[in-house]
């Protein structure tokens, strides 16, 4: 187990070796054959590659497309996948300060046969081990425990954030108690304190991933997705999260400083966008007017930048200003990400950092 041999999950704002992404291809996730999504991915990948290595996994039939659209300094490797959510299917990397290893969690498409989003998911479930092989790094076999990388955030100093909505749901590990899940996380990730928020972003089809509602920006500091609109279902959820965060010291006894990160106005998918999506098993994957889980908290911290979703909303600039105040040593880069959001997640969901190793 990682905690027994000195390996821990570092914070995302710690130094990286690089980042993993998966080239989009699934036509019932990404509109119009993933063309628009690929352009958005390419902009994001270029921004990340300015300050750290980037590895992009592409299916055999998509390799040439990825290689043509991406900068030469980006490594493109052929690897099969069911979809493109690297945060959830790539390994969670742990480090002892000199080397890294990967944790190969089980993946069941966010809920398996209970409430998962697609079937089959066997290609995705093999990616963590393949990526450890690619990097020539050992892996821990935790495939019997269902966990997605988007469901956990850590400060690298012993504290982990997650949500009960996700990890205690019936689609993940229904035979385990909350205490048993805590023991698993502490043992595998080297954490001492878990702060459980109740719920994530309203209408988040991942069952409330933490990376869409709350994230560490420094030891003892977090951003929390927020709205002042009491008529919005998100208000009650975020207010509940705020109460928990303000009443939960971290593993080192610090009272958390919570920065409110105002959400965009509700983002809903259009009929035209729905028409660009293939059906899944004869049924549409999106309905016109459906609210998408848009949040600025779904940013990625690279070595040289914080790369933030932008929605063409009045709060786009406000989110970048907040990030600039919290990360004065990094460039703040906004990426128009609606074409990523239509797939079900955002910038953080499609990235997985690789910690630095010697």
Domain boundaries, the chain: 2-355
Give the per-residue pLDDT at 155: 98
43 phi and psi angles, rounded to 5 deg: -65, -45
Catalytic residue ranges: 349
Beta-carbon contacts of 272 under 8 Å, excluding residues fewer than 6 positions away, are none
Note the Cα 1 to chain centre separation in Å.
Answer: 23
Give the per-residue pLDDT at 5: 81
Answer for the pair 309, 346: CB distance below 8 angstroms, yes or no.
Answer: yes
User: Tens of pLDDT along 96-129?
Assistant: 999 999 999 999 999 999 999 999 999 999 999 9
Give the per-residue pLDDT at 358: 85
The two counts, helices (H) then strands (E), for the chain are 11, 18
Q: 3-state class of 298 per DSSP? A: coil
> Residue 220 class from Cβ within 10 Å (0-12 exposed, 13-18 middle, 19+ buried)?
middle
Beta-carbon contacts of 185 under 8 Å, excluding residues fewer than 6 positions away, are 152, 160, 162, 191, 194
Beta-carbon contacts of 343 under 8 Å, excluding residues fewer than 6 positions away, are 24, 26, 29, 30, 37, 83, 84
CB burial readout 91-101, b (16+ within 10 A) else e: bbbbbeeeebb
CA nearest neighbour of 327 among 261, 281, 230, 239: 261
Answer for the pair 44, 307: CB distance below 8 angstroms, yes or no.
Answer: yes
The tokens of 121 are what?
């998911």
pLDDT tens digit at each of 358 positions of the chain: 444 689 999 999 999 999 999 999 999 999 999 999 999 999 999 999 999 999 999 999 999 999 999 999 999 999 999 999 999 999 999 999 999 999 999 999 999 999 999 999 999 999 999 999 999 999 999 999 999 999 999 999 999 999 999 999 999 999 999 999 999 999 999 999 999 999 999 999 999 999 999 999 999 999 999 999 999 999 999 999 999 999 999 999 999 999 999 999 999 999 999 999 999 999 999 999 999 999 999 999 999 999 999 999 999 999 999 999 999 999 999 999 999 999 999 999 999 999 999 8
CA nearest neighbour of 11 among 329, 321, 303: 303
Class in CATH terms, 2-355: alpha beta
Q: How many CB atoms lie within 10 A of CB 236?
A: 12
Answer for the pair 102, 128: CB distance below 8 angstroms, yes or no.
Answer: yes
d(CA 276, CA 234): 28
């Amino acid at each position: 187990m990682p905690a027994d041999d000195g390996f821990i999950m570092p914070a995302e704002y710690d130094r990286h070796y690089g980042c993993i992404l998966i080239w989009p291809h699934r036509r019932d996730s990404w509109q119009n054959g993933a063309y628009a999504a690929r352009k958005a991915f390419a902009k994001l990948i270029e921004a990340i590659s300015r300050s750290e290595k980037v590895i992009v996994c592409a299916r055999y039939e998509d390799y040439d497309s990825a290689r043509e659209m991406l900068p030469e300094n980006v490594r493109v490797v052929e690897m099969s996948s069911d979809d493109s959510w690297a945060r959830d299917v790539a390994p969670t990397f742990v480090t002892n300060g000199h080397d890294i290893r990967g944790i190969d969690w089980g993946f069941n498409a966010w809920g398996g046969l209970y409430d998962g989003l697609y079937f089959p998911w066997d290609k995705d479930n093999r990616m963590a081990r393949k990526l450890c092989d690619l990097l020539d790094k050992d892996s821990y076999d935790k495939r019997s425990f269902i966990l997605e990388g988007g469901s956990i955030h850590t400060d690298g100093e012993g504290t982990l954030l997650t949500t009960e909505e996700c990890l205690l749901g019936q689609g993940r590990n229904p035979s385990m108690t909350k205490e048993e899940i805590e023991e698993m996380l502490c043992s595998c990730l080297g954490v001492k304190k878990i702060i459980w928020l109740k719920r994530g972003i309203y209408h988040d089809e991942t069952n409330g991933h933490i990376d869409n509602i709350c994230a560490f920006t420094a030891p003892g500091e977090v951003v929390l997705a927020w709205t002042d609109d009491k008529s919005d279902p998100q208000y009650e959820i975020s207010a509940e999260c705020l109460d928990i965060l303000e009443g939960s010291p971290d593993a080192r006894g610090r009272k958390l400083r919570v920065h409110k990160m105002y959400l965009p106005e509700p983002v809903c998918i259009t009929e035209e966008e729905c028409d660009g999506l293939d059906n899944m098993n004869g049924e549409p994957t999106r309905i016109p007017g459906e609210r998408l889980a848009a949040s600025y908290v779904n940013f990625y911290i690279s070595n040289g930048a914080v790369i933030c979703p932008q929605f063409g909303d009045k709060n786009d600039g406000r989110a970048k200003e907040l990030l600039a105040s919290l990360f004065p040593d990094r460039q703040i880069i906004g990426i128009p990400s609606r074409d990523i959001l239509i797939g079900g997640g955002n910038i953080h969901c499609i990235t997985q950092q690789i910690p630095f190793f010697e």
